[in-house]
């Protein structure tokens, strides 16, 4: 593949050291001039990211595959696969609950330019196994197109050839700063097509466990019952921790997979 290489490991580590400023960066998106500069730098018009809930009791149309099949599809379609040597968020935050060296997955031709000390090229089968391991570990994967990752890897010139698959924990993920951003920035994280998160008020005892795990600050307890906010991103963490089984996640549209594949797939050349 002709062209330059991505960042050296030293440069990559230097970029990741800025993780500590993530809250400030998201807050700056609330200032009009800085927001416009950010939109241009990150190519926001071509940015889209979606969490794939792994809640085992998700309600799906009969004969319809689970959301993780969307990521599996992209992995199978991709020409190239790469796993980072470490998770940028967990390693910089010194995560105590999840392995900091269980790295993100990246797909597409651009990964061939990534420095081998930053990430290793793997087979399709290895990438699928990595995804399944992430689910077993309790991580929730987010897939999409984000130029910021291309900048991190030093392949920003080829960002249209790079798909992101982050394996996120609730304590360290960059998304924990999303509530501090402007509404326009927050909306680049798109809830999976057709997905609904609902609270069964008869079962809910208002314990607040769901509030604590919602990294998007979209759940509150009102009059002793959990209430889901309009900006819920559908990650499913709330349902996973609810001991009362009071939170239901369902998808009624059998075409939801095709809709998501089209939205994300149209942004990236795999």
User: Domain locations in the chain?
Assistant: 9-191+253-265, 195-251
* 195 pLDDT higher than 80: yes
In this prediction, residues 18-32 reach a mean pLDDT of 88
C-alpha to C-alpha distance for 158 and 6, rounded to whole angstroms? 10
Residue 62 CB neighbour total at 10 angstroms: 5
3-state secondary structure of 169: coil
C-alpha to C-alpha distance for 67 and 256, rounded to whole angstroms? 9
Q: What is the pLDDT, as a whole number, of residue 164?
A: 96
Which residue intervals of the chain are DSSP H helices? 9-16, 22-28, 32-42, 68-77, 88-92, 124-137, 147-153, 183-186, 209-213, 237-241, 256-265
Read off the pTM: 0.92
Its CATH architecture, for the domain 195-251, is 2-Layer Sandwich (3.30)
- Phi and psi at 168, nearest 5°, equal -100, 140
Q: pLDDT band for position 2 (50/70/90)?
A: very low
* 58 pLDDT higher than 60: yes
CA 40, 109, 150, 145 torsion: positive or negative? Answer: positive
| pLDDT digits 0-9 by tens, 199-222 | 999 999 999 999 999 999 999 999
C-alpha to C-alpha distance for 42 and 200, rounded to whole angstroms? 39
């Amino acid at each position: 593949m002709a062209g330059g290489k991505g960042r050296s490991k030293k440069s990559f580590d230097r970029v990741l050291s800025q993780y500590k400023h993530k809250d400030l960066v998201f807050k700056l998106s609330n200032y009009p001039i800085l927001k416009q500069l950010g939109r241009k730098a990150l190519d926001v018009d071509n940015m889209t990211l979606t969490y794939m809930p792994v809640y085992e009791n998700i309600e799906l149309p009969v004969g319809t595959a689970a959301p993780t099949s969307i990521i599996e599809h992209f992995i199978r379609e991709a020409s190239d696969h790469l796993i980072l040597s470490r998770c940028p968020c967990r390693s910089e935050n010194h995560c105590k609950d999840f392995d900091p060296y269980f790295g993100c997955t990246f797909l597409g031709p651009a990964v061939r330019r990534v420095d081998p000390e930053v990430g290793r090229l793997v087979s399709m089968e290895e990438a699928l196994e990595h995804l399944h391991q992430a689910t077993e570990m309790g991580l929730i994967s987010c897939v999409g197109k984000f130029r910021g990752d291309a900048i991190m890897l030093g392949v920003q010139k080829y960002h249209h050839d790079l798909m992101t698959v982050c394996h996120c924990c609730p304590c360290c993920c960059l998304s924990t700063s999303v509530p501090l951003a402007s509404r326009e920035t927050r909306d680049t994280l798109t809830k999976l097509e057709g997905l609904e998160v609902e609270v069964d008020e008869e079962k809910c005892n208002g314990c607040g466990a769901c509030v604590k795990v919602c990294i998007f600050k979209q759940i509150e307890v009102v009059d002793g019952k959990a209430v889901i906010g309009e900006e819920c991103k559908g990650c499913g963490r709330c349902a996973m921790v609810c001991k009362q089984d009071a939170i239901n996640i369902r998808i009624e549209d059998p075409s939801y997979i095709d809709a998501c594949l089209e939205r994300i797939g149209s942004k990236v050349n795999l």
